[in-house]
Structure formats: C-alpha cells, structure tokens
C-alpha cells in the first residue's frame, strides 16, 4: 500500500509511525520530564532536513506554513527524478520566495568522472550553487553502487579523485550530505527484512537489491569506505542521510558518532527501523536519542515529483510529519503499518525535541 504521488525511492517513510485508522492512544508521558503533546505539534517551530521538492512548490510551501516547518529540499543525481537542472530551478524558486523557510542542497553529476576537467567543472557548479544560497551538497548511493570509472571499477566515496571537490565543499562551509549504500535490509533475504516497505521497495527495484547481487559490494565494505573517507576528511561538516545507513542498530550508530565527532545523522525514511528497535528495548532507543540529541536531525524524505497528485499531497505530508512527531515527542501508542505492530513513543524531553526538530538543523546548515 503506497500513497500516490511519491517516487518509489522515497516511499519507505510512508505510514511509518502512523496509525492504521488515525487512532492514537495516549500512553502518558514520563512524569520526571517536561514533554510535548500532539497538540503542541503546530505550535513548535520545526525543521525537516530531508525533503525532495521537484514540482509545484506551493503544495509543500502551504503545508510547511500550516505545520510550522522550515525545510531543506535536497537535489539528487537520481535518474527517476527530474534532471539536476530542473530540480535546481524548483529549489531556487522556493529559496528566493522565502529564504527563511526554504533551504536547499545541491548535487553534482558524475558524468565524465575521472576525465580531465571534471573536478574543475564540478567545483564551479558547487560554487555557483553556494552563491545562490545552497547549504549543502548531496552525494547519493550511485557512488558506491552504480557509477563506474573508465576501467569499469565501481567508484567509491573514498576515491582520491573526489579530493579537490571535497576540499572546496569544506572551504565553502557547506554540509556534505551522504547517502551511503542502502539499509542493511538490502543485503538480507526478503523474509528476514525488518520492515514491510523495504521488502516492497527491493522487490520492485531488483537492480538495487544487493542480496540478489552477491557480486556487488557488501554492506560492511560500503560502511568501511565511508569511515575511511571520514578519517581522511576529519574537519568536513558531514551529515549521514538515513541515519548514516546504520539504522538497524543504535549501538552501531553510537560507535559511529563517537568515532567521528564532526558527523551528524538524520532520520529520513528510517523511522520504522528505529521503531523496530524500540519495540524490543524502548529505553535503549530513548537513551540513544538523549545521549546524542545534539547530533541527530529530523528528516522525513517526503517527495513531490511532477506526476504527483497535488490535491492529496498536503494531507499526506501533514500525516507523516505528525506521526513522526508523536513517536519522538510523545508517549502515544501508534499502530505502525510498516511493522504490523503498535509502537509507543519515546517521549523525549522538550529540550531534546527542540534540538532534533529545529536547533540542530540551524547549526549544521549554518543558519544559526
């Protein structure tokens, strides 16, 4: 079951944390801390650090105003999206119309990678985007899983041919946003995956289903490549999209954040994996968010493409945002479709929610 209007790439966030029929049962917040309620949702300023607005910006804009959200729309070198030029046009319109509410991250093409002049051309592109207001640069999973160099080898994130581009991103003070590999479910048999949306996605996208491609890189190799990259660029303002693809284990996330003090992570399209863990050890997941409350940003991965049903989009956007708020900010119990289970919210303190849903994004994106 998927909502019309979202690219298949981004549908893994849908119904995550949502109730089967809109019913939410209050479970009571912890008495020892001040927490928000569902009724506070629209009142509190929030920031979604991972959306893709590729068409009809008014749909997102109107709902962002209604739900008190500021946004980072991220351009992606993804063949199922409009061209990078078309994405940049939409994000530029949004940012110029309301530079306080709408931020954007650019992306660069891998076409011609390794050829003479590629790095200079890419740097010029990034500099122009930064001048237009870009707050970050996104590198998608095509680096590591799809793109090959002239010798036929997969291009990995730690390839030294990226170094001049990375140095310029760092010098410009931009956030480097990395979608490394896939969730660990991608390397498991369908019946062992922990979420229904991952099973549906990889069933429909066999090219990306690494369990079916044992000749491809392992999950462990891709994580090691990313870590090697960060060891070589310790001062880079690095944001690991989708919980840095360590969504399956808060222990692994803790180790990552401890090892790389300049790194942050965001939650886009991985809430169900966190909920899967909190079903088994609620306090462990809650304590992870408390310990790393300065290093986690809220992101949804909500996506609006040109073929979307614009008339229904606003409600869908609102429902996803509210469901995620209820999981992180309240103790409400929600029937989560993605897990076929009822999940209790983490009821994080107001101070932590204010960082995760707003303050951290301002700091990481240089907006504070």
Structure tokens, 14: 């849908």
Q: Which residues are 25's β-sheet partners? A: 333
**DSSP state at residue 336:** E
* pLDDT of 31: 54
Residues 6+ apart with CB under 8 A from 85: none
Half-sphere exposure of 107 (CA within 13 A, CB side): 30
Using CB atoms within 10 Å of the CB of residue 71, give its burial: 0 to 12 exposed, 13 to 18 middle, 19+ buried: buried
Question: Can you tell me whether residue 335 is helix, strand or coil?
Answer: strand
Asked if residue 128 lies in contact with residue 98, where contact means CB atoms within 8 angstroms, the answer is no
**pLDDT at residue 55, as a whole number:** 87
Whether 326 and 334 have beta carbons less than 8 Å apart is answered as yes
- Render pLDDT for 249-268 as a digit per residue (tens, 0 to 9): 999 999 999 999 999 999 99
Low-confidence residues in the chain, pLDDT < 70: 1-32
CA atoms within 13 A on the CB side of 368: 9
Starting from the edge strand earliest in sequence, which strands make up the sheet with 136-139, in order?
Answer: 296-297, 263-266, 238-240, 175-178, 136-139, 102-107, 69-74, 46-53, 303-304
Please state whether 22 falls in left (phi above 0), alpha (psi between -120 and 50) or beta: left
DSSP-derived 3-state class of residue 318: helix
| Residue 365 CA from chain centroid, whole number | 14
Residue 309 confidence (pLDDT): 84
Both tokens of 102, joined, read 């709408």
Consecutive H or E run containing 351 = helix 350-354
pLDDT of residue 18: 39
When computed from its CA atoms, the radius of gyration of the chain, rounded to whole angstroms, is: 19
User: In the chain, what are the domains?
Assistant: 8-364 (3.20.20.140)
Question: Would you state the structure tokens that stand for residue 294, as one six-digit string?
Answer: 């300065």
Beta-carbon contacts of 238 under 8 Å, excluding residues fewer than 6 positions away, are 175, 176, 178, 230, 260, 262, 263, 264
Q: Are 128 and 166 in contact (CB under 8 A)?
A: no
What are the Cα distances from residue 105, in Å, to 68, 90, 119, 175? 21, 12, 19, 8
Q: What's the pLDDT at 42?
A: 97
Rounded to whole angstroms, the Cα distance separating 113 from 152 reads 12
Spatial contact of 201 and 244, defined as CB atoms under 8 Å apart: no
Tokens for 338, please give them.
């993605």
Kindly state the tokens that stand for 139.
Answer: 């590198």
What pLDDT digit, counting tens, does each position of 46-74 carry? 999 999 999 877 888 899 999 999 999 99
Handedness of CA 294, 282, 315, 81 (dihedral sign): positive
pLDDT in tens, 325-336: 999 999 999 999
CA distance 119 to 127: 12
Half-sphere exposure of 319 (CA within 13 A, CB side): 19
CA angle 180, 185, 186 (to 5 degrees): 60
């Amino acid at each position: 079951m998927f909502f019309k209007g979202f690219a298949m790439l981004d549908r893994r966030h849908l119904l995550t944390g949502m109730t089967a029929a809109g019913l939410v049962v209050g479970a009571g917040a912890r008495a020892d801390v001040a927490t928000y309620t569902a009724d506070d949702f629209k009142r509190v300023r929030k920031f979604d650090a991972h959306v893709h607005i590729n068409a009809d910006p008014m749909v997102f804009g109107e709902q962002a105003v209604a739900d008190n959200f500021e946004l980072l729309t991220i351009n992606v070198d993804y063949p199922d999206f409009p061209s990078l030029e078309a994405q940049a046009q939409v994000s530029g319109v949004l940012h110029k119309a309301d530079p306080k509410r709408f931020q954007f991250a650019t992306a660069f093409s891998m076409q011609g990678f390794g050829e003479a002049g590629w790095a200079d051309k890419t740097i010029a592109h990034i500099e122009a985007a930064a001048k237009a207001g870009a707050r970050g640069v996104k590198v998608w999973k095509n680096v590591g899983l799809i793109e090959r160099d002239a010798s036929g080898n997969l291009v990995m994130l730690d390839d030294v041919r990226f170094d001049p581009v990375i140095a310029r991103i760092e010098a410009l003070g931009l956030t480097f946003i990395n979608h490394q590999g896939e969730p660990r479910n991608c390397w498991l048999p369908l019946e062992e995956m922990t979420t229904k949306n991952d099973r549906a996605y990889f069933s429909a996208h066999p090219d990306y289903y690494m369990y079916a491609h044992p000749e491809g890189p392992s999950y462990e190799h891709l994580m090691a490549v990313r870590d090697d990259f960060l060891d070589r660029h310790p001062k880079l303002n690095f944001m690991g999209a989708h919980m840095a693809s360590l969504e399956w284990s808060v222990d692994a996330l803790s180790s990552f954040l401890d090892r790389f003090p300049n790194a942050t992570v965001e939650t886009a399209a991985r809430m169900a994996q966190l909920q899967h863990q909190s079903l088994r050890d609620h306090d462990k997941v809650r304590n992870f968010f408390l310990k790393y409350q300065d290093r986690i940003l809220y992101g949804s991965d909500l996506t609006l493409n040109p073929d979307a049903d614009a008339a229904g989009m606003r409600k869908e956007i609102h429902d996803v945002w509210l469901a995620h708020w209820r999981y992180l900010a309240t103790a409400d119990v929600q029937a989560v479709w993605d897990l076929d289970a009822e999940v209790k919210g983490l009821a994080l303190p107001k101070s932590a929610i204010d960082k995760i849903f707003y303050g951290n994004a301002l700091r990481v994106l240089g907006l504070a």
